[in-house]
Amino acid sequence: VKRRLAALALAGTMVAAGVASDSAGGGTAIDGARLLTHVRYLASDDLEGRGNGSAGLERAADYIAADFARAGLTPAGVDGTFFQPFELTTALTIETGNALRFAGPRGDATFELGADYCPASSDISTPGSLSDLPLVFAGYGIQAPPFEYDDYAHLNVKGAAVLVFAHEPQEAAAGRPSAGTQLTPYASLASKALTARARGARLLLVIDDFAHRADGIDCAPFMRDPHTEELGLTVLLLRRHAVRAALGDVLDLTAAWREIDLTLKPRSTRLGKHRVALTERYGRLRRRVRNVVGMLAGASRPDEAIVIGAHYDHLGHGDRSSLASAAAGEIHNGADDNASGTAALMEMARAAVAHRARPARTLIFVAFAGEELGLLGSAYYVEHPVVPLSGTAAMINLDMIGRPRGRLFVSGLDTANGLETDARAAFAGASIALEPSRDGAGFGSSDDTNFLLRQVPAMHFFSGFHGDYHRPTDDWDRIDAGGAAEVARIALALATHVANRPDRLAFIPHTDARQR
């Protein structure tokens, strides 16, 4: 955690605050200096990285709620409060009897937890046992229409255990901006789990691809600090030598990998002679966390709503999710991810209430918990919405908006007709350029996903990845406060445009949008 850029950052803030414009449709000025104050507090060591289940996260929730109250929002949580509590699993304990088995023509192959495999996600709705699952190899487990790439083409994985490579094809190819470090969102486990689950798979087995000489799957962190995400599907990470040994000559993984990389054609295949059985024996430590929800009732159509959301949780001490493995245990302050979006949310609420003209539809402001553990706060919200989802016109998600560098990525503009027009209007006159992400950047990677899955048009505002992402160096002094304030102004202008539309937006399913 570094503080050395403090003076610089503050100087930048003053300049930016001075040029704050009142012009963006939603309009009352949003103040970069005040926004940065929120970031500094939320990303301070006092809050210990806002890990789910920690005291730091609860203090952050209280801070956001107090600020929502000061701004003049109406509480929209339970019992007249701003809070929407829910439970999540913050840690697991490993009990005896865990086992993974491949039954094949030449007998059983048994994998040992910790040595050969470990879970990355568990499906808490069906913990316990899975047996007799057919085994299917599905390449990288990616469906990416913009790249005309589909490992699942003509493949039936219903009820199956699906074996896939980690990452994505041609990862180390020359000409990529930074081979292996800048993957598309399709490479994420969350995206692969969503895809597999949507196709009816029961279990996702992930092995490292051969672009990496050493097997990158490492179960030591899990054994030290057992935990999984909840991606709605059990996802296991497997050591590839163990899988190769188990499959024998039924499938040449190296050849399959090389061919996919070369041709970008799927090499998926059902491994009909193998059956998979999994026994899970974990104890679960459940903790209560809270979404923070406030609203501004619409002037003429209060039963319809726009949800503006930002997750406020982060990695705590980062033990499991840190990308800086040497820094596990250090506080991961999460200034950009996502104190920046949370601070923008708070200042948008203040500006929306202060503005003379109230939008026609209701604005709902939600700070989500549980995002880093599998988008759990937004998953809870869509099950318990303040305004029914049938009346929820759109969702705007802000996750990592603190480093815009003159442009902002916005995904989801193709999830309803007219959104792009409203977005262009919101960006008019702004010092930041709109960069539409048509391949659904962010799909599966942040809270907008849960709204898209429930057919609500949803956009994701994102200023881009950087070297401090999920590392202890994601600190407040690297936030561009003026830029973040500009993003907040644009987001509020867009929310206001959508809230005042004469017509309701009609959702365009993601796949249809991609087929155009």
CA pair distance 475, 445, nearest whole angstrom: 21
| The two structure tokens encoding residue 298 | 């619409």
Bridge partners, residue 270, by sequence: 136
Per CB under 5 A, the segment of 72-80, 184-192, 254-262, 335-343 that binds Zn ion is 335-343
Query: Is the CB of 311 or the CB of 501 nearer to Zn ion?
Result: 311
Distance of CA 42 to the CA centre of its chain: 19
**Residue 373 host element (H or E):** none
Interacting stretch for Zn ion, rule CB under 5 A, among 118-126, 346-354, 393-401, 411-419?
393-401
Write the CB contacts of 31 (distance below 8 Å, at least 6 apart in sequence): 17, 20, 347, 485
3-state secondary structure of 372: helix
Please report, as a single letter, which amino acid is at residue 232.
G
The nearest distance, CB 363 to Zn ion, in angstroms, is: 22
- Which ranges in 183-317 belong to alpha helices (H)? 189-198, 220-224, 240-247, 253-263
| Nearest distance, CB of residue 353 and Zn ion, angstroms | 26
Q: How far is the CB of 346 from Zn ion (least distance, A)?
A: 16
Stretch that binds Zn ion, among 91-99, 224-232, 394-402, 433-441 (CB under 5 A): 394-402
Q: Is 468 in the site for Zn ion (CB under 5 A)?
A: no
Q: Among 338, 340, 415, 437, which residue sits at the site for Zn ion (rule: CB under 5 A)?
A: 338
Q: Report the nearest approach of Zn ion to the CB of residue 133 (Å).
A: 31
Among 232-240, 337-345, 378-386, 460-468, the segment contacting Zn ion (CB under 5 A): 337-345
CA distance linking residue 473 with residue 462, whole number of Å: 19
Which residues does residue 396 pair with via DSSP β-bridges, in sequence order? Answer: 308, 459
CB within 8 Å of 252: residues ≥ 6 apart: none
For residue 226, give the 3-state DSSP assignment. coil
- Closer to Zn ion by CB, 13 or 338: give it: 338
Collapsed DSSP state (helix, strand, coil) of residue 439: coil
Smallest separation, CB 371 to Zn ion (Å): 6
Distances from the Cα of 372 to the Cαs of 211, 253, 368, 474, in angstroms?
Answer: 27, 32, 10, 15
Minimum distance from residue 313 beta carbon to Zn ion (Å):
9
Position 450 contacts Zn ion (CB under 5 A):
no
399 binds Zn ion (CB under 5 A): yes
Nearer to Zn ion, 333 or 338 (CB): 338
Shortest Å, Cβ 341 to Zn ion? 7
For Zn ion, which is the closer residue by CB, 50 or 267? Answer: 50
Number of residues this chain uses to bind Zn ion (CB under 5 A): 3
Q: Is 347 in the site for Zn ion (CB under 5 A)?
A: no
Of the two residues 230 and 422, which places its CB atom closer to Zn ion in the complex?
230
Does position 448 interact with Zn ion (CB under 5 A)? The reply is no
Question: Which CB atom, from 320 or from 454, has the smaller least distance to Zn ion?
Answer: 320
Q: How far is the CB of 47 from Zn ion (least distance, A)?
A: 15
Output DSSP code: residue 358.
P
Q: CB-based burial of residue 464 (10 Å sphere; 0-12 exposed, 13-18 middle, 19+ buried)?
A: middle
89 touches Zn ion (CB under 5 A): no
The reply on whether position 333 binds Zn ion by CB under 5 A is no
378 binds Zn ion (CB under 5 A): no
Answer whether 446's CB lies under 8 Å from 463's CB: no
Residue 173 neighbours by CB distance under 10 Å: 11
The residue from 337, 447, 474, 486 that contacts Zn ion (CB under 5 A) is: 337
Closest approach, Cβ 60 to Zn ion, in A, equals 14
12 vs 473: CA distance, rounded Å: 19
Q: Shortest Cβ distance from residue 498 to Zn ion (Å)? A: 23
User: Within 271-330, which residues bind Zn ion (CB under 5 A)?
Assistant: none
- Of 103 and 441, which has the nearer Cβ to Zn ion? 441
Rounded CA-CA distance 90/286 in Å is: 6
Residues forming contacts to Zn ion in the complex (CB under 5 A) are 337-338, 399
